[in-house]
Every structure is written in structure tokens, then in C-alpha cells.
Amino acid sequence: MLNKVPEVTVYFWIIKILCTTVGESFADYVNETLGFGLRNTTVVFSLALVAVLVAQFRLRRYVPSVYWLAVVLISVVGTLVTDNLTDGVGVPLWLSTVVFAVALAAVFAVWYARERTLSIHSIVTTPREGFYWLTVLVTFALGTAAGDWTLELTGWSAGASVLLPLSLIGAVLATWKLGAGPVLCFWLAYILTRPLGANIGDFLASARDEGGVGLGTLGTSVLFLGTILAVVVYLSITHRDRIEGEDPSAERSTVAVEGRTV
């Protein structure tokens, strides 16, 4: 089958950050505002995630709408996994962070031992896709735990809390530009976008007297879901996030318009 994930472009990172914000704000809205409760919210979104992943695995190529719906749902479920451990079981955030970091290292180790690559440009078999989605789930849970733990230690406001993950992502970008391994830099940035998106969501949703914008969890969720939908529709039409060489018709149209293949 063809590669099942998008090319890593600016659109990829934009939607990824938007998805992580939705994971934080929408989970809080359903859990707290609608009063579903942590356990019921987890069950509902987990079942939805399983259904979408079944559709994703049945596809033979990357389809933006299905792929990004899976990312949105897995961001919510990853957030809820950490919330259940913290609020439901009472596991300290530092311990959750350590456990998820070890779990992520274990997934990477098994993935590499079996496939000899961790590159997302090689997601062309079902086992590799399975490792990919398991990794994504653990990164969301890890990012949630690490981000919340950082806020617990620092006591920063919602606005100030955005600066740390943003600075770390900038450092990863600079390191990549200086020649660091692209696979390592990708996954580091992927993990860090989780606390960045969550902190942006908290900043937008928090009341003004708490240092936020005051949109609320529903307003933030609607704003970001609408933006995700708009970008996904754009990518579905333009194919700008296809892995090079995988969509001949898109390549021909691109050559006709721009005189080159992107």
C-alpha cells in the first residue's frame, strides 16, 4: 500500500497543534461542562477512536479527512488517559510522565528492532502503521502529563505557559537546521506540540480574570475544529501534503501549473 501518513509540511504542524488544542478543550467541555464525567467521556471517545482507526487501517493510502479525524480523537483519548490516572486514580504527574516516557522508549525500541526504521515516510505496511498510531497515542499521553506537571511546578499563568514548549520547539528546529537527525527531531517536536497546543487551549478558554481570553472550552473547540476542517478540505483538494510521487494525477496538475513537482 502507499504511505498512510501526510508529508511533514507547515500544514502538518498547523493541524497537529490545532488537534492538540481540541484534545484539551473538547475533552474538558464534554467531561465538565456537559457533565459526562471522566469515565463516560473516556468510553465514548475511545469507541469513536476505535471506529475511525478501523476505517484508517482499511484504507490503502493517505486520506486527509480520515487521518486527521483519527488524530483529533487520539488527542482527546491521550489527554483522557492521563486525566484518568491523575484525577481518577491519584497517580502523581511526575510518575505519569516517567511511565509514559519509558513506554514511548519501549515502543520505539520494538518498532526499530522489527522494522529498522522510525521514519514516517515508511508507513507502508500494517505493522508499521500500528506502531505509528501507538506511538502517537503515547506521545499525547506523555505530552499531557509532562505539560501539566510543568504547570504544577511553575504555577505559570495560561499565557506564560505557552512560552516554554514554544521555545523548546524552536530549539529542536534550530538543532535540525544544524544537522541533527530528522527522525529524532520530528518525534521530539511531535511530543512538544502536545503541551503547546494544550496551553494555547487553556489560554483561549480561561476567563479574563485568570489571564486568558475567555472563549470557554466550547468556543475554543468550535474555533479550532472549524479551522482544522478548513485546512483538511484545502489539502484534500490541492494534495499539498502528499508524499512526493504518490499521486500521479496531482503531480501532473502541479507540473502544469508550476513547472515542477512538489
Q: What share of the chain is helix, strand, coil (3-state, %, to 5)?
A: 80, 0, 20
Band (245; pLDDT cuts 50, 70, 90) = low
Residue 205 has which C-alpha cell? 478558554
Percentage, residues of the chain above pLDDT 90: 55
**Helices assigned H by DSSP within 155-181:** 163-177
The CA radius of gyration of the chain, in Å to the nearest whole number, is 18
Percentage, residues of the chain above pLDDT 70: 92
The residue that leads in pLDDT, 235 or 246, is 235
**Taking all residues of the chain, what is their mean pLDDT, rounded to a whole number?**
86
Distance CA 19, CA 79 (A): 11
Phi, then psi, of 95 in degrees rounded to 5: -70, -40
Band (261; pLDDT cuts 50, 70, 90) = very low
Tell me the whole-structure pTM to 2 decimals. Answer: 0.86
Residue 26 has which C-alpha cell? 473538547
Listed range (67-81, 84-98, 174-188, 247-261) with the worst mean pLDDT: 247-261
pLDDT at 246: 54
Assess contact for 5 and 124: CB atoms under 8 A: no
Distance CA 15, CA 235 (A): 11
The pLDDT tens digits for 177-216 are: 999 999 999 999 998 998 888 888 888 888 887 777 888 8
Band (227; pLDDT cuts 50, 70, 90) = very high
**Helices assigned H by DSSP within 116-162:** 126-154
The pLDDT tens digits for 100-123 are: 999 999 999 999 999 999 988 889
Q: Which residues of 19-56 are buried (b: 16+ CB within 10 A; e: fewer)?
A: bbbbbbbbbbbbbeeeebebeebbeebbebbeebbeeb
155: left (phi over 0), alpha (psi -120 to 50) or beta: left
Q: Is the pLDDT of residue 262 over 80?
A: no
Distance CA 80, CA 44 (A): 11
Residue 120 has which C-alpha cell? 514516517
Assess contact for 30 and 83: CB atoms under 8 A: no
pLDDT at 253: 34
The residue that leads in pLDDT, 87 or 51, is 51
Query: Would you kindly state where each structural domain of the chain is located, as residue ranges?
Result: 10-258
